[in-house]
Amino acid sequence: MSTSKREEVSSHLRYIRQELRDLDQMLCDDGLLPELTELKEVYNSLDALYQLLAGKTKKKPKPEFDD
């Protein structure tokens, strides 16, 4: 894996970890589930990371969640 790709993956992972920490903190503080849009953002971040690692580009998928 090239250095720039490693840096990009590292950046994605840092962002995802921070988002997951924030969601966990919300659950612990309020006892509530996070907003659906926040979960979608984390899912999309994980998907983008997967696509980066797999080296594939794909068309924009149809939303899997009902709004």
> What is the distance between the alpha carbons of residues 4 and 53, in angstroms, rounded to a whole number?
12
**Tens of pLDDT, residues 5-25:** 888 888 888 888 888 888 888
Please determine, for residue 60, whether its predicted confidence score (pLDDT) is greater than 70: no
State how far the alpha carbon of 17 is from the alpha carbons of 33, 42, 46, 58, in Å. 18, 9, 10, 24
| pLDDT band at residue 54 under the 50/70/90 scheme | confident
Q: Where is pLDDT greater, at 58 or 29?
A: 29
Examine residue 64 and state whether it is found in any structural domain, yes or no.
no
Q: How far is CA 54 from the centre of its chain?
A: 15
Domain of residue 23, residue span: 3-54
65 in a domain, yes or no? Answer: no
User: Is it the case that residue 58 has pLDDT exceeding 60?
Assistant: no
What are the C-alpha distances in Å from 43 to residues 4, 8, 40, 59? 23, 17, 5, 16
The reported pLDDT for the residue numbered 62 is 66
Looking at the structure of the chain, the number of domains it has is: 1
